[in-house]
């Protein structure tokens, strides 16, 4: 009996030690072309040049077809274990959050919530994977057909990780709503198949992320300064590159740009999980860059600031906290 | 001289006959291998099915039309699991990827699939014939004395099949690992 209980305890402990990778959030966003062609746009003067941007609020308030397509896609994705973030609801929540944050005050001193300009800037609808949706109902004589494009874009690497597109069969009998529903039913399996390939690759070769290393202007440190690490004297940028090579999956990364004050690492493959306090935990870019920050503090006595841009992108600003 | 020519002609005829027989045997062998091949699916997507289903035309083989229809059903489900469906040629539907992405899934889960595809097995739960009438006309071909080839339009409960295979741990879930 004792051995059974201890066996069960070991199994429970083992199960507990298995981490789960961080699940990316997915959101459907109507394409710029769709919004602008249907008049859901706003134009403003940007230092002398006219700039047109999509007006998502206007699109959701006026376009029944768009709502129907997004609703259908949401249902299908939820069925596959990926409930979608709703852009319309997210925009409402952010507006409410801003209003509430400005009204809250401390009961003892009356202090307002501390909010930096960056906090305000970051208050936008975000997702890790954006499903860029575009469709158009076209006419061919008496028949109508639909041209449908769906691109799954990684918000950080800007890579197209899944896509499905094509034009449907012309029909004179089907209503635009039926054509749209058919298009969603037709293309979603292909899209999800590609998304599955992306996830399988992610688990096999690590999550692909972007890391930016910058320096604080007042710190008096450049990435070309020489440091001695365990008997090897080299530029700080080389030590950083060595550390990234040693901590990425199969040493996979590319340094796409580098100066005395900046390094841009792309296609950095980080492990999905990391051991922390004896347990496997999901790893995101912030945690990975935090380890680099610790390495610089311990070995070069350099302080640095870790700035999170999302699940797949973080910055390390060297010189100060 | 005349006799030599006759013998030469006979030898040539014998060589020709032997080569024709061996070619026919080889053709039969190839055909048999193709029938039994796990990669041989003759499938076309017909249109977008109603939510969660796929409407496809599958060709099956058998000693009679009924047996060929049964074979078509089996092939339709196997194709959904292992190969996926091609896009419809008229643009009516996009391609469908296979439910199982692991190329060794059939070997790894041999016991499961043997029961699944056994006569009267669970695979029948996911396939519906879109018509009750036996295939006729161009959808019913007599290949040779012993074999019929029939084309059947099937409605396959694709989503239900995928979910059940995910539950069995044979297909990978889209959110597996997260």
What would the pLDDT profile of B101-129 be if each residue is shown by its tens digit?
888 888 899 999 999 999 999 999 999 87
Alpha carbon distances (Å) from A177 to A75, A101, A140, A191, A232: 16, 41, 17, 21, 67
Would residue A5 count as lying in a domain? Answer: no
Mean pLDDT of B2-28: 65
Do residue A179 and residue A192 come from a single domain? yes
Residues A155 and A48 both lie in one domain: yes
- A61-65 CB contacts, 8 Å cutoff, 24+ apart: A63/A38, A65/A135, A65/A176, A65/A177, A65/A180
Same domain? For A177 and A134 the reply is yes
Chain A nearest CA to B173, separation (Å): 7
Mutate to test the interface with B, among A140, A171, A186 (most CBs of B within 10 A): A186
Residues in chain B closer than 8 A to A21 (CB atoms): 177-178
Write the DSSP assignment of A240-309 as a string of letters: HHHHHHHHSGGG--EEEEE-SSEEEEEEEEE-SEEEETTEEEE--HHHHHHHHHHHHHHHH---EEEEEE
Give, to the nearest 10 degrees, the angle between helix A64-79 and helix A176-205: 40
- Chain B interface disruption, residue of A135, A185, A187, A197, most B CBs within 10 A: A185
Q: Which of A259, A312, A199, A281 is nearest to A17 (CA)?
A: A281
Give the mutation candidate from B45, B48, B88, B165 for the A interface (greatest A CB count, under 10 A): B48
Which of B84, B172, B178 lies at the smallest CB-CB distance from A21? B178
Give the pLDDT confidence score for residue A18 in this predicted structure: 44
Q: For A81, which of B84, B97, B174 is closest by C-beta distance?
A: B174
Identify whether residues A184 and A230 lie together within a single domain.
no
- Do A293 and A309 fall into the same domain? yes
Residue B149: CA count within 13 A, CB half-sphere: 13
Helix (H, G, I), strand (E, B) or coil at A159: coil
Domain ranges of chain B: 39-167
3-state helix, strand, coil in chain B (%, to 5): 45, 20, 35
Task: Write down the pLDDT at residue B143.
Answer: 87
Evaluate whether residue A3 is within a structural domain.
no
Question: Given pLDDT bands bounded at 50, 70 and 90, which one contains residue B22?
Answer: low
User: A189 vs B101: CB contact, 8 Å cut-off?
Assistant: no
Candidates A251, A159, A160; CA nearest to A210 is A159
Report yes or no on A87 lying in a domain: yes
Residue A9 pLDDT? 43
pLDDT digits (tens, 9 = 90+) for B48-107: 888 899 999 999 999 999 899 999 999 999 999 999 999 998 888 999 999 998 888 888
pLDDT at residue A161 in the model: 95
Q: Are residues A123 and A250 in the same domain?
A: no
Look at residue A236 in the predicted model and tell me its pLDDT. Answer: 95
Taking CB atoms and an 8 Å cutoff, what residues of chain B touch A199?
A: 174, 176-177
Cα–Cα separations (whole angstroms), residue A234 to A216, A261, B119, B176: 21, 16, 71, 43
A254 and A275 share one domain: yes
Model confidence, pTM = 0.82
In a domain, A19, yes or no: no
Tokens representing residue A179 in the block: 């054509």
Chain B residues whose beta carbon lies within 8 Å of the beta carbon of residue A187? 94
SS3 B64: coil
- Do A188 and A211 lie in one domain? The reply is no
The DSSP 8-state label assigned to residue A85 in this structure reads B
Tell me what pLDDT residue A277 has.
Answer: 84
Q: Which residues pair with A307 in a beta bridge?
A: A315
What does the pLDDT read at residue A12?
42
Which chain A residue is nearest to residue B48, measuring alpha carbons?
A186
Q: Which domain holds residue A37?
A: 26-101+113-203
Residue A44 lies in a domain: yes
Inter-chain contact B174–A195, Cβ cutoff 8 Å? yes
For B120-168, write each residue's pLDDT tens digit. Answer: 999 999 998 766 677 888 889 988 888 999 999 999 999 999 999 999 9
Task: Indicate if A84 and A161 belong to the same structural domain.
Answer: yes
Asked which of A174, A203, A232 is the last residue of a domain, the reply is: A203
Spatial separation of the C-alpha atoms in residues A51 and A84, rounded to whole Å: 30
Last residue of a domain, one of A203, A221, A246: A203
Residue A55 resides in a domain: yes
In a domain, residue A1? The reply is: no
- In this structure, the answer to whether residues A311 and A244 fall within a common structural domain is yes
Q: How many domains does chain A have?
A: 2
Which of the listed residues A155, A186, A203 is the one where a domain comes to its end? A203
Q: What is the mean pLDDT of each run of 10 residues along chain A (321 residues)?
A: 49 46 91 95 87 92 94 93 92 89 84 80 82 94 93 92 91 89 92 94 93 93 92 93 96 95 96 87 92 94 92 92 85
- Nearest Cα residue in chain B from A83: B175
């Amino acid at each position: 009996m004792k051995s059974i209980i201890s066996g069960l305890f070991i199994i429970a402990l083992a199960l507990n030690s298995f981490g789960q990778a961080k699940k990316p959030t997915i959101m459907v966003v109507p394409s710029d072309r769709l919004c602008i062609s249907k008049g859901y746009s706003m134009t403003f003067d940007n230092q002398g040049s006219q700039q047109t941007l999509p007006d998502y609020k206007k699109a959701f308030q006026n376009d029944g077809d768009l709502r129907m397509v997004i609703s259908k896609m949401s249902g299908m994705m939820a069925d596959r274990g990926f409930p979608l973030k709703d852009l319309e609801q997210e925009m409402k929540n952010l507006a409410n959050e801003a209003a509430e944050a400005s009204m809250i005050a401390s009961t003892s001193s009356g202090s307002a919530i501390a909010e930096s300009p960056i906090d305000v800037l970051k208050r936008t609808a975000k997702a890790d994977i954006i499903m860029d949706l575009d469709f158009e109902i076209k006419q061919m004589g008496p028949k109508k057909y639909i041209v449908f494009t769906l691109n799954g874009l990684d918000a950080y690497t800007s890579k197209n990780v899944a896509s499905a597109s094509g034009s449907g069969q012309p029909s004179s009998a089907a209503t635009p709503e039926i054509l749209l529903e058919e298009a969603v039913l037709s293309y979603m399996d292909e899209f999800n198949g590609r998304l599955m390939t992306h996830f399988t690759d992610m688990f096999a070769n690590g999550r692909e992320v972007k890391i930016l290393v910058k320096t604080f202007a007042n710190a008096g440190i450049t990435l070309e300064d020489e440091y001695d690490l365990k008997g090897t004297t080299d530029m700080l940028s080389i030590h950083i590159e060595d550390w990234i090579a040693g901590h990425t999956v199969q040493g996979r990364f590319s340094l796409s740009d580098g100066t005395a004050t900046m390094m841009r690492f792309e296609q950095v493959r980080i492990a999905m999980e990391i051991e922390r306090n004896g347990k496997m935990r999901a790893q995101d870019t912030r945690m990975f860059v935090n380890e680099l920050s610790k390495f610089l503090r311990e070995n070069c006595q350099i302080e640095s600031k870790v700035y999170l841009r999302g699940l797949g992108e973080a910055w390390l600003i060297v010189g100060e906290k | 001289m005349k006799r030599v020519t006759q013998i030469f002609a006979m030898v040539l005829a014998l060589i020709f006959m032997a080569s024709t027989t061996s070619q026919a045997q080889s053709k039969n062998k190839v055909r048999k291998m193709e029938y039994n091949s796990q990669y041989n699916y003759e499938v076309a997507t017909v249109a977008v099915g109603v939510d969660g289903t796929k409407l496809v035309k599958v060709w099956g083989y058998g000693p009679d039309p009924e047996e060929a229809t049964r074979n078509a059903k089996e092939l339709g489900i196997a194709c959904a699991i292992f190969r996926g469906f091609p896009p419809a040629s008229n643009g009516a539907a996009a391609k469908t990827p296979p439910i199982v992405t692991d190329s060794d899934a059939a070997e790894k889960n041999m016991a499961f699939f043997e029961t699944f595809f056994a006569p009267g097995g669970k695979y029948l739960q996911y396939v519906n014939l879109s018509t009750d009438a036996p295939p006729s006309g161009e959808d019913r071909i007599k290949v040779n004395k012993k074999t019929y080839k029939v084309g059947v339009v099937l409605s396959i409960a694709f989503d239900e099949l995928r979910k059940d295979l995910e539950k069995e741990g044979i297909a990978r879930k889209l959110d597996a690992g997260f």
